Amino acid sequence: MKAPDILSATDGNLVLSLDKGLYPLDVIYGAAYVFIDRAYILLGKVDDKITVHLTPKAPTSRKGGISAEDMVGEFGNELLSQALRKKITRDNQQILETIVSQALAGATGAMVPSEFDDDDDDDLDFLDDPLGIAVPWEERFKKRGSAPAQRGPDTEKEEAGPGDSGGHNTTGADE
């Protein structure tokens, strides 16, 4: 991309000329907006070119503040940055619109994902247990037939029922 042409540079006042074909007006607006706190900016138009009058607010000098040449360089960089930003936005326009439209549609309830749209169990009561989750372990895995289970080292002397924690017997029945 071609650097901005410096038409004049007197007493820190710079006049740049930008080709509208290379730098669209939106790009120039963006760069000017970034510099608006550091410089006085006046845009103009001569034929097919946009002129930019840049006057730094702080005095320009080689030792202290930014020099006029530096400001032109920074302005050129900002123009390039804005042009790239514009290109990226344009390239991703369709993706952005898709994301926003889906977000808006979701917020209004217009689009419900298919997995949440399953109405097969609409007639179930909250006490129904089609998967058998509420069935006690003993009932589900009870050995069929009457043969007693073989005792192992971890088995208790008496058959423990559900809820029997095997704690202290307060009735004194074992004594």
Partner 1 sequence: MSTTRSFDKSVYALAAVKDGLEAYSGLGKLSMETQDEAWTVTFGEVDPDFTPDELASEFANYVLAQTIERRH
- Give the three-class secondary structure for 41: strand
Please, what is the minimum distance in Å from the beta carbon of residue 76 to partner 1? 19
Three-state DSSP string of 98-131: HHHHHHHHHHHCCCCCHHHCCCCCCCCCCCCCCC
Contact at 8 Å (CB) between 25 and 19? no
Helices (H), the chain: 25-35, 68-91, 93-108, 137-140
14 part of the interface to partner 1, by CB under 8 A: no
Amino acid at 112: V
Out of 2, 22, 44, 111, the residue judged to bind partner 1 by CB under 8 A: 44
Surface-to-core class of residue 128, CB atoms within 10 Å of its CB (0-12 exposed, 13-18 middle, 19+ buried): exposed
Residues 124-163 that bind partner 1 (CB under 8 A): none
96 part of the interface to partner 1, by CB under 8 A: no
Task: Give the separation between CA 131 and CA 20, rounded to whole angstroms.
Answer: 70
85 part of the interface to partner 1, by CB under 8 A: no
45 part of the interface to partner 1, by CB under 8 A: yes
Out of 1, 2, 19, 40, the residue judged to bind partner 1 by CB under 8 A: 40
Work out the number of other CB atoms within 10 angstroms of the CB of residue 60.
Answer: 21
Contact at 8 Å (CB) between 86 and 24? yes
Please, what is the minimum distance in Å from the beta carbon of residue 28 to partner 1? 9
88 part of the interface to partner 1, by CB under 8 A: no
Only segment of 28-36, 84-92, 138-146, 166-174 that touches partner 1 (CB under 8 A): 28-36
15 part of the interface to partner 1, by CB under 8 A: no
25 part of the interface to partner 1, by CB under 8 A: yes
Please, what is the minimum distance in Å from the beta carbon of residue 42 to partner 1? 5
103 part of the interface to partner 1, by CB under 8 A: no
Interacting residues toward partner 1 by CB under 8 A: 25-26, 29-30, 32-33, 36, 40-45, 50, 55
